[in-house]
Chains A and B, each alone.
Chain A
Amino acid sequence: MPTDKLIKQLKNIDTKRLAFHELVKSYQENLYWHIRKIVISHEDTDDVLQNTFIKVWNNIESFRAESELYTWMYRIATNEALTFLSQKKRRAIFSGTIENDYLINSLESDEYFEGTEIQLKLQKAILTLPEKQRLVFNMKYFDQIKYDDMSEILGTSVGALKASYHHAVKKIEEQLKEE
């Protein structure tokens, strides 16, 4: 179904439920993988993904077609994931662990991680990046999201995103060379 027709149906109370079901089916996988790379564990991703779609359901009436539906949903998903992560990190700091240790522990204990050794090294290297760089790297390297769309999702200029990605790649390569 074309996106503008789907949006119309989502804003109509009689067709909202059916259209929303279709929306979830269409975007669940992309949003899931985007969130999963931020929060790492499957269970946490499931929670955040549900919260993201709840936000979409509650706010679809206020969605203006100034941005693409998918960038709007990516923005919600990113905010939800980062909010979730900051809460987890706060709890981790209170319990005396270093904030990134929480994510590395999640990665090492994740029963749904089936990567090779080099992929595990790569993921660990990604987790050492500052949050924004990590986001940019994942979105570009794994999801191949265009800089223009990324700019809309993250609210950062294309130039800054390119620079951020460049720094992220350099840091990761250095870490992989060291090991």
Chain B
Amino acid sequence: MKKKKNILPENENPFKTPEGYFDYFSERMMERIDAENAALEDDSPAGIMRYLRPALIMAASFAAIFLIIFIPVKTIGPQLSSNNYLNDNDNVLLDYLHINERTIIEAFELDTAQIKYNNALVEEYLMTSISEYDLVENKN
């Protein structure tokens, strides 16, 4: 039987690679494996902590600064508030007596309005408050 003529060309590989490609491929491959492993480690809890550490240090610093400021203010604060004219105990007493600060002010205003001014009072005020020099100066 006559064998059919094969029209396909020789099965030689027509493709080439850059020079030395296979000499260095395994080294490049191992480097990539190491990089992939390092990336996997970064995804682990220990790896995440490595990224979070700067943020945690900053947060701790803010907390320390806050405590340094807050504790002295908290300690000194009550002493300053004791200088208020009406403290908490006073307010409790005023509530009990059904009076408040406004009531007291109104009472003072009422007293002032009821004072009857007369010449004797005016003369007494002027004698105590103004010197003879002032009187001569104003007359001129």
Check: B7 CB closer than 8 A to any chain A CB. Answer: yes
Q: How far is the CA of A36 from the CA of B13 in the complex (A)?
A: 11
**A173 CA to B7 CA, complexed, in Å:** 7
Stretch at the interface among B18-26, B94-102, B109-117: B18-26
Flag if B14 contacts A115 (CB, 8 Å): yes
Q: How far is the CA of A25 from the CA of B26 in the complex (A)?
A: 6
Q: A113-B15, A113-B16, A142-B13 are in contact. Are A177 and B33 (CB under 8 A)?
A: no
Binding site for A on B (CB under 8 A): 7-9, 11-18, 21-22, 25-26, 28-30, 32-33, 36
Q: Mark A1-38, 1 if CB is under 8 A from B, else 0.
A: 00000000000000001001100110011001100110
Q: Which B residue sits closest to A117, measured CB to CB?
A: B9
Which residues in A have their C-beta under 8 angstroms from that of B9? 116, 118-119, 122
Q: Assess the A24–B15 pair: CB atoms within 8 A.
A: no
List residues of chain A with CB within 8 A of the CB of B17. 32, 42, 112
* 20 pairs, A vs B, C-beta closer than 8 Å: A17-B30, A17-B33, A21-B26, A24-B29, A24-B30, A28-B25, A29-B22, A32-B22, A36-B15, A37-B15, A50-B32, A53-B29, A57-B33, A112-B15, A114-B14, A115-B15, A141-B11, A142-B11, A172-B8, A173-B7
Asked if A141 contacts B8 (CB within 8 A), the reply is yes
Contacts of A172 in B (CB 8 A): 8
The interface residues of chain A lying within 8 Å CB-to-CB of B15 are: 33, 36-37, 42, 110, 112-115
Q: Give which listed residue, A17, A53, A116, contacts B14 with CB less than 8 A.
A: A116
User: Does A169 belong to the interface (CB within 8 Å)?
Assistant: yes
Q: Which of B13, B14, B17, B32 has the most CB of A within 10 A?
A: B14
Asked whether B7 lies within 8 Å of A42 as measured between CB atoms, the reply is no
Are B26 and A169 in touch, CB under 8 angstroms?
no
**Per-residue interface assignment for chain A, residues 49 to 77, with 1 indicating a CB less than 8 Å from any chain B CB and 0 otherwise:** 11001100100000000000000000000
Contact with B along A138-152 (1 / 0, CB 8 A): 000110000000000
* Nearest-CB residue, chain B, relative to A140: B11
Shortest distance in angstroms between B103's beta carbon and chain A's nearest beta carbon?
Answer: 84
User: Which of chain A's residues 101-117 have a Cβ closer than 8 Å to chain B?
Assistant: 110, 112-116
Query: Which residue, of B12, B33, B36, has the highest number of chain A Cβ atoms within 10 A?
Result: B33
Q: Which residues from chain A contact B12 at a C-beta distance below 8 Å?
A: 115, 119
CA distance A49 to B36 in the complex (A): 15
Question: In the complex, are the beta carbons of B14 and A28 less than 8 A apart?
Answer: no
Residues of B within 8 A of A37 (CB): 15
CB neighbours (8 Å) of B14 from chain A are 113-116, 119-120, 123
Interface membership of A98, Cβ < 8 A: no
Q: From residue B51, how far is it (CB to closest CB) to chain A in Å?
A: 24
Question: A176 on the interface (CB 8 Å rule)?
Answer: yes
Known contacts A29-B22, A50-B32; decide if A177 and B16 are in contact (CB<8 Å): no
